[in-house]
Amino acid sequence: SKTWTQKLQLKKYANGFIQPKDPHTATNETNVTGIFIAGSCSSPMNLTDTFTDARSATNAIKAFLEHQN
């Protein structure tokens, strides 16, 4: 919500959706390292697209955590 995006200093589009780090290659990453997004917080999505995006986010998080160690 608005409070969390402000506290975390996440970039947002003018329409209020959270802006991904790169809309083509890093759709689940944000401008804040270690904060990931999935589903309709970044754009309108149906249920199928939300599940697909969530799977993509888990892969991005896994890669991030593996790279931290």
Phi, psi of 43, rounded to the nearest 5 degrees: -175, 160
More confident residue, 44 or 69: 44
Question: In terms of pLDDT, which residue wins out, 34 or 68?
Answer: 34
Task: Give the pLDDT of residue 2.
Answer: 66
Q: What is the pLDDT of residues 20-62, one digit of tens each?
A: 999 999 999 999 999 999 999 999 999 999 999 999 999 999 9
Say whether pLDDT at 1 is over 90: no
CA distances from 55 to 22, 38, 50, 51 (A): 18, 9, 9, 6
Confidence of residue 68 (pLDDT cuts 50, 70, 90): confident
